[in-house]
Amino acid sequence: MNTLSAAWTLAQKDLRSFVRDRTALVLSILVPIALVSVFGWIMAYAFGGAGGMPKVSLHVADLEQSVASRRFVDSLSSSEMLRVRKVEIDKSAADLDARLEKLIRDGDANHVLVIPAGFEAKVGANETPELRMLRDPGREMEDRIVQLSIMQAAMAQLGGSVWIGAMDRMLAEQGMDSQGLLQVRGWMTSIGDTINALAAANAASDQVATGNENAEAELPRTRSGFDMQGMLDFMASIVPVATKDISPPDRAKQVTYQQAQSVAGMTVMMLLFALTSCGSVLLSEREDGTLKRLFAQPISRNAVLLGKFLFVMIVGIGQMAVLFTYGEFMFRVGLFRDPVTLVVLSLIWVAAGGAFGIFLASVSRSKKQAESLASLLILMMAALGGCWFPLQMMNLPPLLDTICKSTMTYWAMSGFQGMLWNQLEWNSSRILVAISWQVGWICVFTLLSIYFFRRNFCRG
């Protein structure tokens, strides 16, 4: 038999074996389909869907609740770049600012725009309203989007008062007295009226030509070489927003949100891979025949399962220690700032991952099957849980949002992000919620593991 014939014969044999392993065959088709579907779904929202712009959460505390302030909030809400969340707060509370700052400190909000009392009066008097922004520094991309969106809303809803206010400030800085300012305002109003009249006439003729009654002015597009920061600086001078940075006192200055996200995300995901691989020792024992001998020993079957869980836990803790030490060495993200929280979160995640690994082993018929299932489920959970992209940047529909927030990876990320970025301690409400969810998953996977272990390994 020549080489080609021999190779073909071997390939035929392998194909026949492959096709006869039905589970492997189904998984080989299902895994790519499932992964493509989930990643396609998530990626679409990661980059803002068809609009190509991610949505950023902006919390708005409207302390006035007037017609003008509501119109301004509505204008913000209509922005394609923002997901506006109204902060329900008692505006008469003495510790109002502290409460708003807590939203940032706890990681519940990254930007809180405060619309102060007197907003409507300022707008009515053609004065620039004094907006305040509390923000978590270090999120430059989100900052720019928020800043730009506020400018757009201000332009759209506050109109002339914004420009007049800006002009007043600029001229006052140049030394013009109040008399001069009034004169300039008169000229500006006259020019503005002329422009508005022309614009109205153009709009009417466009409407006749296109028949589109809802035609909106196109947003200016960013061109190649456009100085975005310059534009933002200019606009910031038109609508001044008093910004206050709220960050934990000892957050390392060089740490970026992306680094914190990356260290947490990769640790959570890679540890799952490692733990499921360890969990498959149960299947190795069965395939090698040693499980039979273990079952013949004067020990309980549950001890065998518990032994595997302990093994996975110990390996996981070791891997976590190595990953975090390396992450700290490379990125200086302040992992060891709060060792207690680090240990608590690590133990919980190792236990959750270990329970998941043992569960996978208990439902699989072979190591090969377990590996395929692990790849499928881990990659899906990593994508859904925000290990790759921060979910805050995604404009998820309610169903997908609920799915994402049900995954154990989401809560592991929430815990680690809370610790790394917001520097929350293990007993803070956000971290306790994250821990509770993970404990829930540990219980679910442990119970399922015991059930399937008894059914698939011990029955006979």
Partner 1 sequence: MQNREILLSIENLHYQYGKRVAVESVSLNVAKGECFGLLGPNGAGKTTTISCIAGLLSQWSGSMTFRSNEFRPASVASDRGLLGFVPQELAIYPNLTAEENLRFFAKLCGVANAQLQTTIERNLQMAGLLDRRHDLVRTFSGGMQRRLNLAAGLLHSPALVLLDEPTVGVDPQSRNHLFETLLRLKSEGLSLLYTTHYMEEAQRLCDRIAIMNEGIIVATGTPGELATEIGDANANLEDVFLHLTGRRLRDE
Q: What is the DSSP letter of 392?
A: G
Least distance from C-beta 335 to partner 1, angstroms?
Answer: 33
9 binds partner 1 (CB under 8 A): no
Report how far residue 116's alpha carbon sits from residue 69's, in angstroms, rounded to the nearest whole number: 9
User: For partner 1, which residue of 30, 67, 201, 299 counts as binding (CB under 8 A)?
Assistant: 299
365 binds partner 1 (CB under 8 A): no
Least distance from C-beta 424 to partner 1, angstroms?
Answer: 42
* Alpha helix positions (H), 21-118: 22-46, 67-77, 96-105
| Partners of residue 61 on adjacent β-strands | 114
Q: What is the torsional sign of CA 414, 419, 421, 423?
A: positive
Burial class (CB within 10 angstroms; exposed 0-12, middle 13-18, buried 19+) of 37: exposed
* Choices 24-32, 51-59, 143-151, 296-304 (CB under 8 A): range interacting with partner 1: 296-304
208 binds partner 1 (CB under 8 A): no
Exposure string of 121-145, with b = 16+ CB inside 10 Å and e = fewer, is: ebbeebebbebbbbbbbbbeebbbb
Could you tell me if 333 and 342 are in contact, meaning their C-beta atoms sit under 8 angstroms apart? no
Name which of 33 and 458 has its Cβ closer to partner 1: 458
Backbone angles phi, psi at 396, to 5 degrees: -80, 140
User: For partner 1, which residue of 52, 211, 249, 289 counts as binding (CB under 8 A)?
Assistant: 289
292 binds partner 1 (CB under 8 A): yes
User: For partner 1, which residue of 249, 300, 398, 399 counts as binding (CB under 8 A)?
Assistant: 300
Least distance from C-beta 384 to partner 1, angstroms?
Answer: 36
Report how far residue 134's alpha carbon sits from residue 380's, in angstroms, rounded to the nearest whole number: 35
295 binds partner 1 (CB under 8 A): yes
Name which of 86 and 293 has its Cβ closer to partner 1: 293
Least distance from C-beta 342 to partner 1, angstroms?
Answer: 32
460 binds partner 1 (CB under 8 A): yes
Number of residues that bind partner 1 (CB under 8 A): 14
Name which of 24 and 294 has its Cβ closer to partner 1: 294
* Choices 293-301, 313-321, 343-351, 375-383 (CB under 8 A): range interacting with partner 1: 293-301
User: For partner 1, which residue of 14, 193, 250, 288 counts as binding (CB under 8 A)?
Assistant: 288
Least distance from C-beta 252 to partner 1, angstroms?
Answer: 42
* Choices 111-119, 297-305, 338-346, 398-406 (CB under 8 A): range interacting with partner 1: 297-305
Rg (CA), the chain: 29
Tokens encoding 233:
């600086």
* Choices 248-256, 284-292, 417-425, 437-445 (CB under 8 A): range interacting with partner 1: 284-292
| Partners of residue 62 on adjacent β-strands | 115
249 binds partner 1 (CB under 8 A): no
310 binds partner 1 (CB under 8 A): no
Name which of 40 and 289 has its Cβ closer to partner 1: 289
Could you tell me if 342 and 335 are in contact, meaning their C-beta atoms sit under 8 angstroms apart? yes
- Share in percent of the chain as helix, strand, coil (round to 5): 70, 5, 25
Three-point CA angle 390, 383, 278, nearest 5°: 120
290 binds partner 1 (CB under 8 A): yes
In DSSP notation, 230-259 reads HHHHHHHHHS-EEEEE---TT--TT--HHH
Name which of 221 and 459 has its Cβ closer to partner 1: 459
294 binds partner 1 (CB under 8 A): yes
Residues that bind partner 1 (CB under 8 A): 288-290, 292-300, 459-460
